[in-house]
Chains A and B, each alone.
Chain A
């Protein structure tokens, strides 16, 4: 049981990293997707490059770059902050793509209805297309969120004392062996399954309201 105790001590940081970077991603994905869909070619190319770099380079590399690479004068990221920023940026790129899919899933007649009523492009996007696109995006977002719970373990590589870091430490020092890792696996399941259930519930509620 002392193994379980050791592993559980990592839960708060795992959750903090997961939800903070998910939030950064959900918010940061919005300007990125606007850039991707922009008619300004320069903006479009910048955002496309950014998204491709963030998605194409392994998240663990980003964490190293941010933790060890970025030091402006006396400024140095603390490990947890570096993990949140790194995973947050990567999440923003994935979210932008999820949103893009959601936006193109909204029927073009919705844009036309907005235009025909004289509603401006921005208001049509923010009040008509956006909310519908968001609803379409919810399942993909939650499934990304669930995989982010696991990906937050990458933070252990830069010394953040989340679940995997503490598990490894316990396995080494207290001769926990495989048992500790199995306990860690069960803790991850206990975190992700409720989230999956909640996501399914939210999705079916939203679907009921807009189904046609």
Chain B
């Protein structure tokens, strides 16, 4: 991957905090992700990884801080119009743990719907793009099926195609393989590796340690509502600095 000396920041978070009532999920988190960079976020459950990811596209509204995606900034606390939030969301594609495909639409409609509705592409244009993306995730033959007829791994690949159809500048993955059998998860990971290779900016919350180590450019470790360590994945995995990271890695890798 060609990395310039001053990589363009695609996503940056400044002082982002989130609480539910008295329960602090995370406090004042900073994070920068350069264009084309693949960032893996790991850490124990309840560390706030998923909530942080969901704050990036405002599915959860942070209590404080600033979120920038591709030059578009939203500051928490200020009254933000839905239009601005939608503009921010348009820059990010999201893949959910439970796929969240639309069960009443065919696979093709699932991928085409938002293209027509949001990007105002014609049906022919949208379908053409959808078929190309379905082909890319290996599901060209499933265009006319319904999601219920597809396996979990297939559904997740459809969900990835659906997100890519909106031409996002960054892809957010929220534990994309956690609801899948390990074997089925592999086909999803293969698609994600392919995306990473093509230079897509990705932030991946995951428990897949091999993916985090081998595919990501940077590893971010979250625990107890903060980023406790980040950097080169191989270095952190073999020689973690923070005792909490050591504890966590021993539990997931050395089992």
Given contacts A212-B147, A212-B148, contact A115 B89 (CB under 8 A): yes
What per-residue 1/0 map shows which CB atoms of B78-109 lie under 8 Å from chain A? Answer: 00001000100110111010101111100000
Chain A interface mostly helix, strand, loop or mixed? Answer: helix
State which of B112-120, B135-143, B212-220, B235-243 sits at the interface with chain A: B112-120
Instruction: Determine the chain A residues whose CB is within 8 A of the CB of B96 once the complex forms.
Output: 109, 112-113, 116
Report the separation of the CA atoms of residues A117 and B103 in the bound assembly, to the nearest whole angstrom: 16
A window 185-212: CB within 8 A of B: 209-212
A119 engages B114 (CB within 8 Å): yes
B11, CB-defined interface residue at 8 Å:
no
Report the separation of the CA atoms of residues A109 and B104 in the bound assembly, to the nearest whole angstrom: 14
A window 112-129: CB within 8 A of B: 112-113, 115-121, 123, 127-128
B102 engages A118 (CB within 8 Å): no
- Known interface pairs A117-B118, A118-B89, A212-B103; 16 further A-B residue pairs with C-beta atoms within 8 A, sorted by A's residue number: A109-B98, A112-B59, A112-B100, A113-B102, A115-B89, A116-B96, A117-B113, A117-B163, A119-B114, A121-B82, A127-B113, A135-B104, A209-B148, A210-B104, A210-B148, A212-B147
B177, CB-defined interface residue at 8 Å:
no
Q: In the complex, what residue of chain A is closest to B98 when comparing beta carbons?
A: A109
Pairs of residues from A and B, 7 with the lowest C-beta to C-beta distance, nearest first: A117-B114, A113-B100, A116-B94, A109-B100, A210-B103, A118-B90, A118-B118
Given contacts A117-B162, A120-B86, A121-B82, contact A110 B102 (CB under 8 A): yes
A91, CB-defined interface residue at 8 Å:
no
Report the separation of the CA atoms of residues A43 and B207 in the bound assembly, to the nearest whole angstrom: 46
27 A-B pairs, CB-CB below 8 angstroms?
A107-B100, A110-B100, A112-B94, A112-B96, A113-B100, A113-B102, A115-B89, A116-B92, A116-B93, A117-B114, A117-B166, A118-B89, A118-B166, A119-B113, A119-B114, A119-B117, A120-B82, A123-B117, A127-B117, A132-B104, A209-B146, A209-B148, A210-B104, A210-B148, A211-B148, A212-B103, A212-B147
Interface size class, chain B: 20 to 34
A118 engages B114 (CB within 8 Å): yes
Given contacts A112-B96, A121-B82, contact A209 B117 (CB under 8 A): no
Residue with the highest number of chain A CB atoms closer than 10 Å, among B89, B100, B148: B100
Q: In the complex, what residue of chain A is closest to B86 when comparing beta carbons?
A: A118
A31, CB-defined interface residue at 8 Å:
no
B104 engages A116 (CB within 8 Å): no
A131, CB-defined interface residue at 8 Å:
yes
Q: In the complex, what residue of chain A is closest to B147 when comparing beta carbons?
A: A212
A window 96-110: CB within 8 A of B: 107, 109-110
Q: In the complex, what residue of chain A is closest to B115 when comparing beta carbons?
A: A117
Instruction: Determine the chain A residues whose CB is within 8 A of the CB of B162 once the complex forms.
Output: 117
Residue with the highest number of chain B CB atoms closer than 10 Å, among A109, A113, A115, A135: A113
